[in-house]
Structure 1
Amino acid sequence: MPGSAYTRAKQPEQVRRALLDCAAAIAMDHGVSGVTVQAVAAAAGVTKGGLFHHFSSKQALIEGLFANLLARVDAEIDAAIAADPKPRGSFTRAYVNAVFTGRAFGFDTPWAALSMVVVTDPPLRRLWNDWMKARLKRHRATDGAPELHVVRLAADGAWLSYITTGQTRMSAELRAVHDRLLAQTHRRV
């Protein structure tokens, strides 16, 4: 279809967005192993060549998906920090909420499918580490206290437990953990 290819060429960011959205949906439904070049291209309505125009390989697509999710998490966390009247611990509270209930990063998001891959994939692990280091550096003045670090680690542990036990919704027990972690961010040691 010459007309649709011409239209897509004029809208590369929309094609890229569609590819990332389709990859995220596939990862959520079938895990990262289901994210194949063929499956993503077909879901987005582009050729494999069209996908390779935006992402040079499956790895580049996965890294793009991961970077996109981190950008969404950034926006969600920044909005929560801006709305938080208490500066001390604001990043940690935003992070805990993002982990437990966030739209970009929470338990029921594509992040869950990518989570285990971060542990074993060096480029994704590097993206995650760079993101976290930058966040911690930016929020050192408000969130550098060791007790806030413990809260973030506990949130990570709750998230890992949720992912590895196959839960499909947050239990009352996890909700209580969430609430307790948030309460800890208001305490001064």
Structure 2
Amino acid sequence: MAKRESARDRILTAAEAIVVGKGVSSLTFDEVAEQTGLSKGGILYHFASKDALVRAMVERFVYRFETGLAGIEHEDEDPHGRYTRAYVGATLGEAASTGEQYDRLGASITAALSNFPDLLEIVRQQNIRCQAAVEEDGLDPVDATIIRLAVEGLWMAEVFNVMHLDPEMKRKVTARLIERTRASSNRK
């Protein structure tokens, strides 16, 4: 028997759907209540303000990414470049923790960060952790950083609908980035 989603998770899921569909400026407790079947008071019980709800969405977004990345990393038997390969896979791969809905949520949350500058710190800390892990991954730290930045650039271009590579080209670029994690030596 499947575990029933908690009220808090139902609220977050509904809020994410609203943000993806309409943007963070359209996120209201009334609409979340309508989507979840909970009362506005029930929403307020879990989240005292819209800022608190958006913060929880950002935290859950980061948690999902890090959990997906850890799962991919755990499956990789080669320790040399393992984290960097997992980062490529979690961000760009077909088995990514991302997926189209996740990417749309990422774009919506990233755009919303300009309205909630204190939430940038959550994303900043996640990026600091990722960069430190990339630099200590057994690869040349500069090569690993170049790979990470290429991944970030491609993801951002896609989620903000600035550029979409042909699927075959994206597959080849992703494969080449992963290949570079196997070719880079640990010269610091």
User: Structure 1 length as normaliser, TM-score?
Assistant: 0.81
- Equivalent residue for 2:106? 111
Is 1:69–1:104's contact at 8 Å kept on the other side of the alignment? no
Give the Cα separation in 2 of the matches to 1:104 and 1:78: 10
Q: Indicate how the Cα distance of structure 1 residues 152 and 139 shifts in structure 2: closer, same or farther if over 3 A, else same.
A: closer
The question of 1:127 aligning with 2:98 is answered no
- Equivalent residue for 1:8? none
Please state whether the residue corresponding to 2:137 is helix, strand or coil.
helix
Please state whether the residue corresponding to 1:88 is helix, strand or coil.
coil
The question of 1:90 aligning with 2:82 is answered yes
- Equivalent residue for 1:31? 23
Unpaired runs of at least 5, structure 2? none
Is 1:99–1:106's contact at 8 Å kept on the other side of the alignment? no
Identify which of 39, 48, 59 aligns with 1:67: 59
Give the Cα separation in 1 of the matches to 2:17 and 2:166: 21
Is 2:29–2:43's contact at 8 Å kept on the other side of the alignment? yes
Is 2:83–2:133's contact at 8 Å kept on the other side of the alignment? no
Unpaired runs of at least 5, structure 1? 1-10
- The Cα shift of 1:140 comes to 4.5
Which residues in structure 2 correspond to 1:47-58 (within 5 Å)?
47-58=39-50
The question of 1:164 aligning with 2:164 is answered no
Is 2:84–2:148's contact at 8 Å kept on the other side of the alignment? yes
Give the Cα separation in 1 of the matches to 2:134 and 2:18: 34
Is 2:73–2:83's contact at 8 Å kept on the other side of the alignment? yes
39-48 or 151-160, which deviates more: 39-48
Identity %: 26
Is 1:117–1:124's contact at 8 Å kept on the other side of the alignment? no
Please state whether the residue corresponding to 1:186 is helix, strand or coil.
helix
Q: Indicate how the Cα distance of structure 1 residues 34 and 178 shifts in structure 2: closer, same or farther if over 3 A, else same.
A: farther
User: Structure 2 length as normaliser, TM-score?
Assistant: 0.81
- The Cα shift of 1:27 comes to 2.0
Give the Cα separation in 1 of the matches to 2:101 and 2:163: 10
